[in-house]
Structure 1
């Protein structure tokens, strides 16, 4: 009986201790960052990143450390990771803009069809989980209006419910669309160059001709992979092959 109680105690309380350790490391790393011990703060943050993979604030803090250590590639990488969870966070977006202004490579994006750009801009306003919460809220609101319409005998109330449903049902469909859209698997993976620079080749081989050179912190899409080489595409439409070890995928 005593052994059983100890096992139950271990099962239920060990996760609490684990979470307490993560919080302790996180806050001690914050204090190290405030004290300008950026390398030690970074070490602390990275030690818990695999235990708290869905923490946009943690990714943001890691990005800050890398930026202070003048590693623009990894700083951009972790800011972009943070952006996945906080797509409208002003601090994250501002820091990404700062890094982009400091990059050697200034790439002009090929103009997109306005409707695609419109949908993407709306989708970026919320993360996937936020679209899910919004869908639940709108769904319950529609259900409330529908039930009120069914069970009330007041003509004015029934008319107001109908007006509300005429407005909220299309909203429900739109939110459902963006939830599905935000969860669609990406056709290509976004990545950031973390090496100081990389020569983009015309083929996946060391002996292939150099096409152009890119530098640390540049964001691009990975569209193919052959052995230890990856084919990348830039915003301006240029593409070529780089070594896979030179970049990190944002995910």
Structure 2
């Protein structure tokens, strides 16, 4: 009897979790139906309900961004596209819709030209998500282990040489994948970005209202948060300009 009770206690949370997953999956489909029928406000409410319950994914954020875009709420659309892109950085649909939303806002900021190698490396490590890079790391570590095993057990000199170079190649690919995964992790989680939500805000030279005015940003513009001081954020924009802005003017990605 105790064993049966223990089994029920262990499996009950799993069943509840599965039911919750199905519930929010059904809600997501209901939101999609509202979106297809042009009921963008209803679709937005449903997507927000799912998001508020903690079931956040790239497709959900993408659809939420689309709903906001259709309603002309471009800062909200950009925020959700950016959040979706963090989870699926190589998705061309998210990239395209984000560029469309950025075309609708006031600030058209030209980014600083990057070095060729820097741009190339970004394209490489963004080509897969973190989970895929992790799988590649596991695969190449297994390749190294197998090469070592075959090298030690093989009696043929030519075969041992092949296994040796196979192991070297596996080590190189493993290290490459680790570095790529770390680059994407750093870009996604350690580099903090935010979206301006005030219709117009002045950036200042110091974290104080009476400091010198530098330039003005408008809602929908993306900034990188470099550091904070009390309620002020020191931020940089794509063209390299920097200044202090009140944190209440921003929503973090």
Q: Which TM-score band (shorter chain)?
A: 0.7 to 0.9
SS in 2 for 1:57: helix
More displaced 10-residue stretch of structure 1: 25-34 or 43-52: 43-52
Tell me the equivalent position of 1:198: 201
Quote the Cα distance in structure 1 between the aligned partners of 2:48 and 2:154. Answer: 58
The answer (yes or no) to whether the contact 1:73–1:195 under 8 Å persists in 2 is no
Query: Which residue of 39, 42, 47 corresponds with 1:40?
Result: 42
Quote the Cα distance in structure 2 between the aligned partners of 1:209 and 1:159. Answer: 68
Q: Output one character per residue of 1:127-151: Cα deviation in whole Å (capped at 9) or x when no partner.
A: 2222211111111122222222322
Tell me the equivalent position of 1:65: 67
The answer (yes or no) to whether the contact 2:202–2:245 under 8 Å persists in 1 is yes
| 1:43 positional shift | 0.8
Tell me the equivalent position of 2:121: 119
Q: Could you state the TM-score of these two structures normalised by the residue count of structure 1?
A: 0.87
SS in 2 for 1:198: strand
| 1:9 positional shift | 6.2
Quote the Cα distance in structure 2 between the aligned partners of 1:65 and 1:76. Answer: 11
Tell me the equivalent position of 2:220: 217
Quote the Cα distance in structure 1 between the aligned partners of 2:224 and 2:21. Answer: 35
Tell me the equivalent position of 1:86: 88
Tell me the equivalent position of 1:153: 155
SS in 2 for 1:212: strand
SS in 1 for 2:76: helix
Residue 242 of structure 1 pairs with residue 245 of structure 2: yes
Structure 2 residue ranges without an equivalent (≥5) = none
Quote the Cα distance in structure 2 between the aligned partners of 1:89 and 1:11. Answer: 34
Query: Which residue of 94, 100, 104 corresponds with 1:102?
Result: 104
Structure 1 residue ranges without an equivalent (≥5) = none
The answer (yes or no) to whether the contact 2:64–2:80 under 8 Å persists in 1 is yes
The answer (yes or no) to whether the contact 1:54–1:85 under 8 Å persists in 2 is no
SS in 1 for 2:65: helix
| 1:8 positional shift | 5.6
Change in CA separation of 1:134 and 1:9 when aligned onto 2, cut-off 3 Å:
closer
More displaced 10-residue stretch of structure 1: 166-175 or 118-127: 118-127
Count of aligned pairs? 250
The answer (yes or no) to whether the contact 1:73–1:217 under 8 Å persists in 2 is yes
Q: Output one character per residue of 1:167-214: Cα deviation in whole Å (capped at 9) or x when no partner.
A: 222111111222233334866411111333322233333344432211
Residue 21 of structure 1 pairs with residue 28 of structure 2: no
| 1:83 positional shift | 0.9
SS in 2 for 1:183: helix
The answer (yes or no) to whether the contact 1:131–1:179 under 8 Å persists in 2 is yes
Quote the Cα distance in structure 2 between the aligned partners of 1:201 and 1:230. Answer: 10
